[in-house]
A and B are shown apart, each in its own frame.
Chain A
Amino acid sequence: MLLIEKSLVYFVIATYLFITLAPLLWVLSTSFKPNPEAISFPPQFLPSAPTLDNYVFVLTDPKLVISLFNSLAVSLASTGLSVAVSALGGYAFARFDFKGKNLLISTILGLFMIPVVINIIPLYIMLANVGLLNSLFALVLTFQILIIPLNIFLLKNYFETIPKELEEAALIDGCSKIRAFWHVIVPISMPGFLIAAILSFRFSWNEFVLPVVLSNRPDVIVFQVALYQFISLYRIDWGYLTAGINIALIPVVILMLIFQKRMIRGMTLGAVRG
């Protein structure tokens, strides 16, 4: 590369690196400041006397602690359910030819494209009428619509990379197709399930619109909603809030960083190939 090209490339990268990291670092730094210092002007870049008080507050406030557990429970349950359900569906698409297959694939793909928030009003009225508002169970079910379509395509593509011969051997031995799936495909598909699980977890953990509407009673709120109610209830205490932000961030960012390479491949497979 020419020198001028090279410096341009590095200039662009450095600039966007700053844009990406500065907000996160600023929030991180603020979370170690006492509340008054958090909103002092001119701002202090580093806490003058770093403290863990904000984290202690968030992790001992009963309402916030309950919401953290709710988030964890809902995210894990909806991850498990969606991977199981999508594995079956993905397998059907990967290994069977049947009537209406293309139509179904297009429909599911189309549904995946349409953001779920559009459905929020009918969903609310529907759940209100069957008495399922403010239920974590209903939340797990509604979260599925965010994740299942993506997971089906992800796993369909994954199964298609597995040579058919493996199952055929099992079929010749007299296994049914379903048993072949369980004993042959499932064990070697763990890496695929892992990607699907991590993406599902990220979607569930971060989801806000569905829970804020469908489940906002204090005993059934999730963490993202708790933070939101937290700012509307009190004067915003930015020290506490920034600590809450970091607690919400940590699990997802760690997961994504560990698995980022596979994640990129999984995402693009899901999005591009269909």
Chain B
Amino acid sequence: MLEQKVGRLQPYLLLAPALAILTAFLLFPLTWNVYLSLHDVSLITILSDWKYVGIKNFVNLVQDSDFHMSLLVSLMFVGGSVALQFFVGMVLAVVLNQQIRGSNTLRAIFIIPWTVSAVITGFSFKFIFNDSFGIMNYGLSQLGLEPVSWLSDPGTVVWTLVVANMWHGTPFTVIFLTAGLFSISPVLYEAARIDGASKIKGFFYITLPLLRPFVIINLILITMWSVNFFDLILVMTNGGPLFSSTTSSLFMYRQAFEFGLLSKGAAVGFLLIATNLVLAYSYIKLLRSQDK
């Protein structure tokens, strides 16, 4: 009797350490964030009692033009990053899937940027895109073009960041879609070829439909990551000049740790969490429907 009971408890005991850590450091902060966003917490009051302020933090946000700006910057950064990473990643995955010599070695090389940390990527591209001595402007000058203020012109800076983020993020899409391509039987292409279909037709009528679940999941994941990703931007521009490259997630960070307004940051965090939950939910929904 007792043994049976212990037996039934076993899986929970095995999971207990993992669940304890995840609850304490992930689930609890995630929900506690709501409480924080409804109080007045700053770096000064962090260890004392916090005053309940209702939705004042959110009202402040709605009235903050820098926050409006950050939504626009996020839209450009996420849109640009996802479009570029997906397109380039798809082209590379398909190209590497042709029978070419050394494709495994090539894949290994193409993965390197993904193993490089965001900070390191940021520094490297800050160096390359430097206004005065960067090699990009040297390249432009060799071509007889005017130098560009890659990181100090408010109209250009987001796109420079998108390029750096493409370098860092594209390998994930290549790997992910390659896994998808491996799952498609070559027999299908063979049959299409015998029927006289061209390669391009094969791509649109065989590859794309069968790759669909991979494509959707990949898009959701890279969207989510781009929404939250700010290490790279922090290193390259610190969100500047002024707020012109401050995405919403970086806005959250800056409010909290640059200006000390922790609960205002938490209010931004709440909005970001909501965005993430919607994306995560649709991801799991899709996974489940794919299983069936």
Contacts and interface: CB of A to CB of B under 8 A. Distances in A.
B127 A41 contact: no
> Which label, helix, strand, loop or mixed, suits the secondary structure of the A interface?
helix
Contacts of A46: none
B224 A115 contact: yes
B156 interface: no
Contact of B221 (A101, A113, A142, A238): A113
B11 A92 contact: yes
B93 to A, nearest CB: 11
B41 A256 contact: no
Interface residues of B, number: 94
Interface in A202-220: 202, 205-209, 213
A89 B18 contact: yes
A227 B123 contact: yes
A10 B276 CA distance: 39
Nearest to B218: A271
Nearest to A145: B26
A3 B22 CA distance: 55
Interface stretch (A49-57, A61-69, A161-169, A241-249): A241-249
A201 B229 CA distance: 20
Contacts of B27: 111
Contacts of A115: 224-225, 228-229, 276
Interface residues of A, number: 92
A119 B107 contact: no
A137 interface: no
B60 to A, nearest CB: 15
Interface of A: 1, 5, 9-10, 12-13, 16-17, 19-21, 23-24, 26-27, 30, 39-43, 85-86, 88-89, 91-93, 96, 98, 101, 104, 106, 108-111, 113-126, 128-129, 141-142, 144-145, 148-149, 152, 177-178, 202, 205-209, 213, 224, 227-228, 231, 238, 241-242, 245, 248-249, 252-253, 256-257, 260-261, 263-264, 267-268, 271-272, 274
25 contacts: A12-B91, A23-B128, A40-B133, A86-B18, A89-B14, A92-B11, A96-B14, A101-B11, A104-B19, A106-B284, A114-B280, A117-B249, A118-B276, A119-B26, A119-B269, A121-B256, A122-B33, A122-B269, A123-B29, A128-B47, A177-B7, A178-B10, A205-B117, A248-B117, A260-B111
Interface of B: 7-8, 10-12, 14-15, 17-19, 21-22, 24-30, 32-33, 36, 41, 46-47, 88, 91-92, 95-96, 98-100, 104, 106-113, 115-120, 123-125, 127-128, 130, 132-133, 135, 138, 141, 167, 175-176, 178-179, 199, 214, 217, 221, 224-225, 228-231, 235, 249, 252-253, 256-257, 262, 265-266, 269, 272-273, 276-277, 279-281, 283-284, 287
